Each structure stands twice: as structure tokens, then as C-alpha cells.
Amino acid sequence: MSTNELWSHVKPGPPDAILALSDMYAKDTSENKVNLGIGAYRDEHGKPWILPAVQMAKEQLVHDPQANHEYQPISGFPPFTAAACRLLFGEDAASIKEGRLVVNQTISGTGANHVGASFLQHFYSFPTEDKKIYVTDPSWPNHYAIFKAVGLTPTSYPYYDASSRSLAFDKMMSALNDMPDGSVVLLHACAHNPTGVDPTEAQWREMADVFAKKHLFAFFDSAYQGFASGDPAKDAFAVRLFESRGDIGMLVCQSFAKNAGLYGERIGALHVVTGSKEQAEAVGSQLNLIVRSEMSTEPVYGARIVAKILTEPEMRAEWDRNIQTMSQRIIQMRHALFDLLTQRFKTPGTWNHIVDQTGMFSYLGIDEAMCHRLVTEGHIYLVKTGRISMAGLNPGNVEYVASWIDKVVRERANL
């Protein structure tokens, strides 16, 4: 068989809804182009930002003879895993103190989602044969791809109310109550991607009661700790609440892509809360088998950086300031966009959601046709669901973006 015959049946797959925008943006020669597609922080000049805390860690690592290139244990670089779980659950978490928490370093949040879902696929007693995992409607599109790839059946549950542009709390609560006992439910720990809409602390408490009552398993994705409020401890509220109750089965996928600006280093962790030290050992050994067969051991550079910024006081203080810088700049851009739309352009519709939403994204509430015009005519790249990465806005482009939103909204409504 010739090479030509071997692959002639393979048809091109669809481009990735988010990453393809970056390619289109790179090829666009317009001077006005703006990338609001991918969730990656940009500084006030639209440039990638190496966090000063990360820079400090890197400079130390260059001269550190211990920072060699040896393989790490399958579960990851120990100083990293020890610090990462404390950032997430807090210093006093019972599962850490009692040795019931299993932590595995992963290839960022995506790897944590994958290894976590794969572990459940093998070992969790799903209530239905098709192994459903309930996913917020909407969610990060890759959740669906990751869960399907390991043999789970992702199914959506109500989360966002498009008409009020807020949390569909009542609908979500009845959906949780109607799920078969023991169902697995994906929760975004904070800064929901793509809507920027999170439950309040009181709502999280009500949700936790339902999880306990119905033995629902909480599959947390924590990709934005620090980005919602500027305070990593505050953004861990839901995770810490669920863990501290001791009556909810849970795992947490953690990423340092956004909050440490380590997108390309692929550094994250999977945390599984178990009932005892013995269980933790058994679960850990099974996670290690999954990791060993797929990537053998994890890359160490990002882990060394994060371990330093979490454990060395000077770097930790700098990192806390860096998170504030990022989250505050995003909040300023929310207000700048909101003010331009409501006061300068007097754009038809309500825009309060832009300032009410939290984290890296705003779900604008504009339709696919309007998004298409923004991309093709305005050279403003955004996902076709109307999600924009607020971090792509800066003082130099926010007025241009607002003017185009105003234009497509008015022309769509024939105003």
C-alpha cells in the first residue's frame, strides 16, 4: 500500500474554537487588530507578561546546582506538590493534615482534567452505565473533548441564564436535585470560563448541602485562583468549603497557567480527597500508573518555579502583588468598556454584566453574526459565543473595541 493510499480516508478535523483565533490574529495585517480570543494575560501594552515573581525564581534557578535535569517521581516534584495543595486547600486543611489528600503534578489544568477523568472512568461507581459527567452549560469547550476522550459522557446542566446574564441558580439547583444519586458534577472553582459568573458564598453553601444529600461527586476545575478577587485564599472558598465538610467526594484540577503566567510551562496538579492514609496510598498508586503510561514523569521546570514562588516569602509577597496587578487591570478594563458603551456610545441594551462578571472573561451577550462581523470587519478576534478575554483590552484599544461593539449591536437591531 502506498503512503498515499494509507491516509486518503483521513479528513481534516475542525480547528480549535479558541486556539485557531490566535493563528488568525497572527496572520491579520491590520494595524487595529485585537486578540480577545484566548484567555492569556496581556499587559497594558498588549504584551505577554513575565511575572516579576517568576523572573526572580528563574534567576535563582539558573545558579542553583540542585536544579538539575533528573527525572522526578511519577507524582511530581515534591516541593511543588506540597505547596500547591496548601495554596488550594489552606494550611489547616484536614485532608492534608491527616494524610488523606493525594496530589499528582499534571500537564497544567488540561492534564489534571484528563488524569482525574481517566481515574474516575476506571474506579468510580457511576450511577449510570454511560458514565455521565455533568458539565455547566456553557463550559470550556475542551471539557467535553477531554471527558469524551477517556470514555465519559459529558452532559450539560443549567448554569447561565442568557436573558438576565446571570447565574441560573434555581434551575441549577433543581437539576442537581434531579440527578441520579452519586452523579459526577463539574464545578468551576471561581471565575467561570466562559461566563465570568460565579455562585455567591451563600449559594455555594446551598450547593454543598445538595452535593452531600445526594452523594454527588464534585469535580472541581480551578484554573483561575487569584484572578476573580485578586486573593488566592478568597478564590478557593468553594474548594475549601467542600473539603472542610468531609461529607462530599471531590477532586480538584489546578492550573498555574493563568495565575503565574506560566502558560507554556504546562504546570498544574490533580488533588483527590480520600477517606484515609491507606486509601490515599492506593489512589495515588493508581494515578501514578495512569501518568506513567501516558507521560512517564512530569516536566520539572514550571514546578521548580511555582515551588519557589509559593514557599519563599519574598517571592510569595511579590507573586501576591503580581496577582493584584493582573486582576486589578482586568477590573479597570471592565469599567472602561462599560463606561464607553453606556456613556460615550450609549449603545442599546444593558451592559452591567460586564462589570458584574468576574475573572478573565466577559460573556458579552452578542450573537454569532455580530461576533463574525467583529472578527471579519473589525479585526477583533473573539470566540463565536461572544466571550471576550478582558486581558486583551488595554487603554490603547478599548475605545476601538467599544466602537465596534456599538456598531454591530446598532446595525443588528437596525437602529
Strand partners, 155: 134
Total H helices, total E strands in the chain: 17, 13
Q: Which residue has the cell 503510561?
A: 293
Which sequence positions are flagged as catalytic? 140, 221, 258
Q: Which residue is nearest to ligand LMR (CB)?
A: 39
Closest CB 24 distance from ligand LMR, rounded Å: 14
The reply on whether position 39 binds ligand LMR by CB under 6 A is yes
- Report how far residue 104's alpha carbon sits from residue 76's, in angstroms, rounded to the nearest whole number: 6
Nearer to ligand LMR, 179 or 269 (CB): 269
Q: Which of 25, 33, 35, 38 binds ligand LMR (CB under 6 A)?
A: 38
The reply on whether position 111 binds ligand LMR by CB under 6 A is no
Nearer to ligand LMR, 216 or 330 (CB): 330
Closest CB 306 distance from ligand LMR, rounded Å: 18
DSSP symbols for 188-228: E-SS-TTT-----HHHHHHHHHHHHHTT-EEEEEES-TTTT
The reply on whether position 172 binds ligand LMR by CB under 6 A is no
Q: Which residues of 294-316 are buried (b: 16+ CB within 10 A; e: fewer)?
A: eeebbbbbbbbbbbbbbebeebb
User: Whose CA is closest to 254, among 58, 112, 132?
Assistant: 112
Nearer to ligand LMR, 39 or 261 (CB): 39
User: Whose CA is closest to 295, among 48, 89, 72?
Assistant: 72
Nearer to ligand LMR, 142 or 254 (CB): 142
- Report how far residue 174's alpha carbon sits from residue 188's, in angstroms, rounded to the nearest whole number: 18
Footprint of ligand LMR on 124-143 (CB under 6 A): 140, 142
Footprint of ligand LMR on 186-215 (CB under 6 A): 193
Nearer to ligand LMR, 36 or 172 (CB): 36
By CB under 6 A, the count of residues binding ligand LMR is: 6
Closest CB 266 distance from ligand LMR, rounded Å: 11
Q: Is the peptide bond before 313 cis (omega within 30 degrees of 0)?
A: no
- Report how far residue 309's alpha carbon sits from residue 56's, in angstroms, rounded to the nearest whole number: 9
The reply on whether position 18 binds ligand LMR by CB under 6 A is yes
Footprint of ligand LMR on 64-103 (CB under 6 A): none
Closest CB 35 distance from ligand LMR, rounded Å: 11
Task: Kindly list the residues in this chain that would bind ligand LMR in the complex (CB under 6 A).
Answer: 18, 38-39, 140, 142, 193
